[in-house]
Chains A and B, each alone.
Chain A
Amino acid sequence: MGTYVPNTQAQREAMLAALGVAKVEDLFCNVPQEMLVGENLDLPKGLSELEVRKKVTAMAAKNRVYDTVLRGAGAYRHFIPSVVKSVISREELVTAYTPYQAEISQGILQSIFEYQTMICELTGMEVSNASVYDGGTAGAEALAMCKDRKRTKAYVSATTDPNVIGTMQTYCFGSGMPLEIIPAKDGRTDLEALKAALGADAACVYVQQPNYYGNMEDAHAIGEIAHAAGAKYIMGCNPIALAVMETPAECGADVAVGEAQPLGLDIAFGGPYLGYMAATKAMFRKLPGRIVGQTHDVDGNVGYVLTLTAREQHIRREKASSNICSNQALCAFAAGVYMTAMGADGLAQAAKLSMSKAHYLADELAKIGLPRIHSGEYFHEFVTACDKLEAVLKALDDNGILGGLPVEGGILWCCTEVVSREEIDRAVAIVKEVC
């Protein structure tokens, strides 16, 4: 069997002797003895590292790694600079836990403070937390932030990622907060329907930018409608797009959230990812989860601590607004390193490259009979019609290309900066042969 227990049999016996007990089982004297599993534990025999490596590697080998990925829909394969993985594999960062002891945790605390600053810069918002689990839970937590005694109902646009809506619905099933979905029109939030829906109990309106179909929403207009009805405005934004598009702050958002996986995290079959949350100063005490603040020590040196902790579950217990404890700290660290490596220019370049390539792909597909089904501006994703959906995706698959995702009305395609023009031309040629 494999083991990570350092003590030898002799040492264990010496320790037992010091305790004055004959065998370690005697220490389990409070356990009703009839409950002990003993030999009945039906697990395979433990393995050596070599055997485990072979076994798990064989599982990984059963998955298919595509050369070219033209699919996004909530998980994006962007370029990850080498420095990101190098930094976040440092043992200190990997093996530490929540920085409860500030004096020996300044590295993590400062990294979170820097991450908070970068998220504020990216979103234009005034305050960021230290992260939550992912974009979906960030969205669900944002709805809860906006609830008060008089305003209890949340509204979310149908153009939001269905996974995010699904998570929101589950959270609302728990809390009892009503959640209404505002219909879409031509791949965008139906503004008239939104205006008509908002009542006196409207707590918030959630809109994704760019939306699930890649389309740019009229974010200003939605914010104005939300505020006119006395509701808070939440924007769920792609962080790469934020390098170039109008910020949630510029659009009047009260809360900005989103999935930060594109900031240097692997797609990794869906996780671990990173939920970011930021808010205006007026809302910052409603932010869930950990927040790091700057302060100084007894000698006057600048230092960082977990702060505003009385909002959180370990102090406020049943009165806490959220139960979050562990978050995605190492992922936030990675995002911080990624944003540092990219810089504002690099991030804007990644955004422009992604967008330009997506437009090139859309134009080429349109030429061969797969037109976009929506009008108006889009970022790095778009939906095309496709009569031979299965055949198209299969032909691409046969050539090592993961095509777009089948959605209502056609295929949802995505390009990021890692896709070259040659790859796009090749994919289009394959589609052309089928269609």
Chain B
Amino acid sequence: MNFPAELKYTKDHEWLKMIDDTTGIVGITDFAQSELGDLVFINLPQEGDEVTKDESFCDVESVKAVSDVMSPVTGVVAEVNSELEDEPQMLNEDPYGAWIAKIENITEFGDLMDAADYEAMVQK
């Protein structure tokens, strides 16, 4: 299991990578994808959507389940990774490369962990 040190993590298993002070990209963690199993679809948010920390902003589907993806921050969706619509398996194969959305105008952060704390949490 992989926990890149440069990322921040949520208790709901999303990662956040800040690009500048108010812009970041978001995805789901390696742990999340392994728990969810083979993902078959993602319902992406739309550009311009306002997202709120700790609230669902999109969902991912496996064959037998659907899971909400919670936003680590409050802000506005600037861009989505529409490649995932055609190739949801990228979320399984490369969870830290398969970013879901770029969020700008970030005004608030949820409770975020660094890699070591997150790793400790999931190993429990």
Assess whether B64 is interfacial by the CB under 8 Å rule.
yes
- Complex Cα distance, B64 from A315, in Å, reads 7
Q: Label chain B's interface by main secondary structure.
A: strand
- Complex Cα distance, B61 from A316, in Å, reads 10
The closest CB in chain A to the CB of B67 belongs to A310
- Complex Cα distance, B59 from A316, in Å, reads 10
Per the CB 8 Å criterion, the residue count for chain A at the interface is 7
Chain B residues near A316 (CB-CB < 8 A): 66
Chain A residues near B62 (CB-CB < 8 A): 310
Determine how close the nearest CB of chain B comes to the CB of A103; give it in whole angstroms.
16
Chain B residues near A310 (CB-CB < 8 A): 40-41, 61-66
Assess whether A323 is interfacial by the CB under 8 Å rule.
no
The closest CB in chain A to the CB of B59 belongs to A319
Determine how close the nearest CB of chain B comes to the CB of A408; give it in whole angstroms.
44
Per-position binary interface string of chain B over residues 44-86, scored 1 when its CB falls under 8 Å from any chain A CB and 0 otherwise: 0000000000000001011111100000000000000000000
Determine how close the nearest CB of chain A comes to the CB of B35; give it in whole angstroms.
16
- Complex Cα distance, B43 from A308, in Å, reads 13
Per the CB 8 Å criterion, the residue count for chain B at the interface is 9
Q: From residue 298 to 356 of chain A, which have CB atoms closer than 8 A to chain B? A: 308-310, 315-316, 319
- Complex Cα distance, B88 from A285, in Å, reads 15
Determine how close the nearest CB of chain A comes to the CB of B4; give it in whole angstroms.
29
Chain B residues near A319 (CB-CB < 8 A): 59, 66
The closest CB in chain A to the CB of B46 belongs to A149
- Complex Cα distance, B9 from A351, in Å, reads 63
Most buried by A among B40, B63, B64: B63
The closest CB in chain B to the CB of A306 belongs to B63
- Complex Cα distance, B82 from A51, in Å, reads 66
- Complex Cα distance, B66 from A309, in Å, reads 10
Interface residues of B (CB under 8 A from A): 40-41, 59, 61-66
Supply 18 A–B pairs (Cβ within 8 Å), ascending by A: A285-B41, A308-B41, A309-B63, A309-B64, A310-B40, A310-B41, A310-B61, A310-B62, A310-B63, A310-B64, A310-B65, A310-B66, A315-B64, A315-B65, A315-B66, A316-B66, A319-B59, A319-B66
Given contacts A310-B61, A310-B66, A319-B66, 15 further A-B contacts (CB under 8 A): A285-B41, A308-B41, A309-B63, A309-B64, A310-B40, A310-B41, A310-B62, A310-B63, A310-B64, A310-B65, A315-B64, A315-B65, A315-B66, A316-B66, A319-B59
**Closest 3 pairs between A and B when the two form their complex, measured CB to CB:** A310-B61, A310-B66, A316-B66
